[in-house]
Amino acid sequence: MYQVVNPVFAHLEGLTSWYWAVPYIAALFVMRDLPRRINRTYILYVAIAMIGLSFIGFMILDRGAASYLLINTLMLGAFGIYDLFWWSISFVRTAALS
pLDDT digits (tens, 9 = 90+) for 6-47: 889 999 998 888 888 899 999 999 988 888 888 888 999 999
Domain total of the chain: 1
User: Is 70 exceeded by the pLDDT of residue 95?
Assistant: no
Q: What's the whole-model pTM score?
A: 0.84
Cβ contact 80:23 at 8 Å: yes
Mean pLDDT of the chain: 88
**Mean pLDDT, residues 52-79 taken together:** 95
Alpha helices in 1-98 (DSSP H): 2-8, 13-18, 22-32, 40-60, 65-97
Reported as a pLDDT band with limits 50, 70 and 90, residue 98 is: low
The alpha carbon dihedral of 82, 83, 86, 87 has a sign of negative
| 92 DSSP assignment | H
What is the reported pLDDT for 20? 82
Domain that includes residue 56, residue range: 2-97
Angstrom distance (rounded) from CA 6 to CA 16: 7
